[in-house]
Amino acid sequence: MTYLVLVRHGQSKWNKENRFTGWVDVDLTAEGVKEAKKAGKLLAKEKIRFDAGFTSYQRRAIRTLWFTLEGIQQFHIPVTKDWHLNERHYGGLTGLNKQETRDKHGDEQVHIWRRSFDVPPPQIDKTHEYHPVNNPIYQGIDPAELPGGESLEMTTKRVLPYFQSQIALFLRANCNVIVSAHGNSLRALMKELFKVSDKDIPGYEFPTGNPLLIELDEGTTRVTSARFLDESRAKELPPLPGKNA
């Protein structure tokens, strides 16, 4: 049996303030640090030895991985950071308070921006402070690849090729892997692993700092079981591929 753990970063400062965060590199709150440390304690009980870790370029995910690896005493494993695992870019919504945005644009429009699969938020151009071309973190990356706003579909098209070309190689070699990322980049992975439809995937949630433990058939990325380790904060999971709901 091969193990894949997906963990969404702990609560961030803009999560707490109910703001659209996306690619803005906000840090964890004290509660977020607590959640990340608890993720490590929960995972330690499973006694899994990991071979590799993956995370995004964003500190809230990176620090969550640090605290988790500390909790399982596995700081030694190789960790790859890659921008393809970043959160969905919220474009012109970035930094806005979600409730104030609902008040201005209406619940229906905000729901479409947040929970549709293929409708992107308002785009920002390369002169905007929140466009990644203006962030030194992304220097050296082709500016044409850096988004000014993404739908979940666009995020999926960014994340899944990286998963297949990098992470899945470890899994097919029967290596245990941990991925610390974000709500929407993890949705993209869930969509692939559980074969979730475009229509249904926006409805699935990843609680902050609650590891999702996935068991895979050896030599494959075929899911045989999955569960959130903190049952008190668990969210509904898709049915296993090939199984009836």
What angle, 0 to 180 degrees and rounded to 10, lies between the N-to-C axes of helices 59-71 and 30-44? 40
For the question of residue 9 being annotated catalytic, the response is: yes
| 31, 46, 76, 87: the active-site residue | 87
- Active-site positions read 9, 87
